Structure 1
C-alpha cells in the first residue's frame, strides 16, 4: 500500500481540525474533547513517543504503515479504559519514558523486525500511554469525548511522524529520519535522568 505525502498530510490536517466539529453541540463535550486532545500534545514525553511511532512505521513500510499506528491507538484506548475503571498498572511513568527511549532507538538503528513483533512492542507501550491519559482525565470530563480527543491527537501525531518519514525516504534522505530517532531517544534519556 503506497500512501502519498499529500494524502498523509491532508489526513493529518483533517484529524487535527476535527475538534472544531465538536465545538457546538455542548460545551461539556467540546471541553472534554479538547482536554483529551491536548493531553498527548502537551506532554513532551507523549509527543515524542507518538512522533516516533509514525517515524518507525514509515521506516518499516508495508503493512507496518497502518498496523503499528492503528494497534497503538486501539491499545491506548483500552489502557485509558482500564485506568478509568480503577485498575492499577504499575510503572506507568517509567513505561512512558522507556517508550520514548526504545522507540527512538528503533528509528535510529532502523531495526527490521516482523510486523507482528513491532505491533506487540507498540501495543505494550501504548498501554502505558493510555493508562496515563485515563488517570489524568479531569473529573468533570465526558469520558467518551475525552477518549476521542486523545485518540485523534495521537493518530494525528502518528501521521505527522509517518508523513515526515515517508517524505525523507522519497527525497532520498532516510538518514534524517534516523537522526530524528537519535534526538527522540536522547530526549527520552534526558527526561529520565531529570526525574
Structure 2
C-alpha cells in the first residue's frame, strides 16, 4: 500500500506544470509530458502493470529482466517514433499486448526469462512508438524519454508489488490475468 501511494505521489508531482504569470504562454517540460503520457490511456496502464505482474509470476531473474527489456525496447520504439518512421498497426499492437499479457498470466505457464524479455520487448516497440510520435516539439527528447521510461517503471513496479508474495504463481495470478485480458478486450471492443 505504501508503494502504491508513493508511485501515485511521484506521478502527480512529476506531471505538474509550472504556473505562468503571462497568458498565452504554456510551458510543459519534456520530462513532465513524458512522465504523464503512460497514464493517459487504460491500454498503456494495463500493459505496463501486466509486465510487472508477468515478471512477478515468473520470478527469479525475470523480476528485473522482463521490465528492463520492456523499457529498453520501449525507448527504441520511442526513438523510431520521434524520427518519424512509420510503424503499421500501432494501436493494434498496443491492444494485443494487453490481451496477450493477460492471457499469458491466465494460462499460468513458466517462461525462460530471456524468452519473456524478448516477447514483451516486441510489444514494447509499439508502446514506445506511441510515446515517440506524441513527443512535444521544442522539448528535450532525453527529458521526455526519461519521463515515460520512469513512469513505465513505476507501473511495472506496481505490477511487481501486486504479484509478489503468497499470491505469486497461484490462482490469484491466473485470475488477475483473466481480468487483464477482459479489460483489454473491453478497451478494444468496448
The TM-score normalised by the length of structure 2 is 0.85
The alpha-carbon deviation at position 17 of structure 1 amounts to: 2.6
Q: 1:73 to 1:29 in 2, by over 3 A?
A: farther
Give the match for residue 121 of structure 1. 119
Q: Distance in 2 between matches of 1:22 and 1:193?
A: 30
- The corresponding residue for 1:133 is 131
Q: Equivalent of 1:174, from 165, 170, 177?
A: 170
2-structure distance, mates of 1:168, 1:80: 36
Match of 2:187 in 1: 191
Could you list the runs of 4 or more consecutive aligned residues of structure 1 that deviate by over 3 angstroms after TM superposition? 12-16, 18-24, 27-30
- Mark the runs of 5 or more structure 1 residues left unpaired by the alignment: none
8 A Cα contact 1:15 1:155, kept in partner: no
TM-score (norm 1): 0.83
- Report the CA distance between 1:31 and its aligned residue: 2.4
Listed as ranges, the matches of 1:39-188 within 5 Å are: 39-169=37-167, 174-188=170-184
Distance 2:7 2:95 in 1: 29
| Structure 2 unaligned blocks of 5 or more | 21-25
Between structures 1 and 2, the one with greater helix share: 1
Paired residues in the alignment total 184
Check 1:92–1:107 CA distance in 2 against 1; reply closer, same or farther (3 A cut).
same
- Distance change >3 Å, CA 187–CA 23, structure 1 → 2: closer
CA RMSD between the two structures: 2.8
Q: CA deviation at 1:69?
A: 0.1
In terms of mean alpha carbon deviation, does 80-89 or 132-141 score higher?
A: 132-141
Deviation at 1:117, TM superposition (A): 1.3
